[in-house]
Amino acid sequence: MDDAVRPARLRSVTTLEERLAALGDAAKALAGALELDTTLDTIVRSAVEVTGAHYAALGVLGDDEHIQRFFHHGIDEDTVRRIGHYPTGKGLLGVLIRDPQTLRLDDMSQHPASSGFPPEHPPMTAFLGTTVSSHGRVFGNLYLTDKPGGFDATDEAVIEVLAAQAGAAIETASLSQRLRELAVADERERISRELHDGVIQWLFSIGMGLEAARTLLPEEAGDIDERLSSAVDGLDGAIRELRGAIFRLRPQQAASLGLAAGITELAREYEVNALIRPSLEVPAEIDAEVPVAVVADALQVIRESLSNAARHAQARNVHIAAVCDDERLEVSVRDDGVGFQVDDGARVGHGLANMRERASALGAELTIDSTPGAGTAVRLSVPLEQEATSP
């Protein structure tokens, strides 16, 4: 498992503060996981973390409502091999499949649906299970067993919050996987709508829930408050990345808006993410002067510039300008933020490489002026005379 998405702590939790801190860790880990298998593994590990259970498992349901995949934590691989095939959804696990709701038991063997364990299976007593779903679609069920002293009502509430986080994370990871597998334009458009109307709103709702959880903390719980705050920041970052993915999914739609409307849309996106409204200097008549073939790449350079500003600049003001004549389109994004050392490529990472790639595709000149403490200016100069002679 990638260390970047591994929950920070794997130890028994007992107090409310520890559980909320663990829940914040889980939210941050899940917000950063876009590979489906990594996400599923992170969920079961996080379930152990937030409850202190010895064992956790996630059964992923197939179309026939039987367990299709089974992710677990707490049982070593040698024991797993001796047990044999993973559960398919009979007995007690089948109860959650047929009646998706939270189920808490002090002794799972006493439940009428319990069918016992296969040979070599470790003994298990206390049980807590809940459904993992998103927008009415059930992905599977999360099972926890053998917490010292048994599970309580707080465990039940915490695991339901984790299940909600898990549903959103699985949906995000599933969509991410499908994006890599499918390149059909209509499918991209549909997925982008799902990302915007479903996943982003769901992540925002979870972030609000974590913010509400912070109100349960005593004033002296500073470290835990920081963890929950960090988790909320992680969700905000995931939302920004998804918004960027939506823009990249629909380059032709962006181009069809025209340059002026496209810049206005990006300014709105930045305002939502950074809570700062950029000032615009974009003449309405510019759309008649800029070739359609230039628009998508120019907008992407602006989007990357704004994304870097939202993540790093801590700016109070952002200004976007675009002017055009018969020969060139000039676009600029300026902020009054903290700035950076331009020769430090790590400062803007892949965004800078993406901007240079777009500029190269346009045969344009890209300049980035920045000094620590003095803000940043990104300028794109696109020659237009070549458009008339292009084949």
Q: Which of 20-24, 47-51, 319-323 has the highest average model confidence (pLDDT)?
A: 319-323
pLDDT at residue 192 in the model: 56
What's the rounded mean pLDDT across residues 344-365? 74
The secondary element (H helix, E strand) that includes residue 274 is: helix 259-274
Phi, psi of 105 (to 5 degrees): -135, 140
First-to-last C-alpha distance (Å) of the chain:
50
pLDDT value at 282 more than 90: yes
Compare 370 and 184 and report the one with higher pLDDT: 370
Phi, psi of 327 (to 5 degrees): -110, -35
Among the ranges given (68-82, 187-201, 264-278, 360-374), the one the predictor scored with the smallest mean pLDDT:
187-201
pLDDT at residue 66 in the model: 79
Res. 128 pLDDT band, cuts 50 70 90: very high
Among the ranges given (19-28, 202-211, 223-232, 312-321), the one the predictor scored with the smallest mean pLDDT:
202-211
pLDDT value at 90 more than 90: no
CA distances from 37 to 12, 241, 361 (A): 25, 20, 36
pLDDT digits (tens, 9 = 90+) for 190-215: 565 556 555 666 676 677 777 777 67
All domains in the chain, ordered by first residue:
3-244 (3.30.450.40), 258-389 (3.30.565.10)
Degrees, nearest 5: CA angle 266-268-274: 100
pTM to 2 decimals? 0.46
Amino acid residing at 346: A
Scan for tokens 């298990």, then name that residue.
124
Amino acid residing at 337: G
* Pairing outcome for strands 318-324 and 279-281: parallel
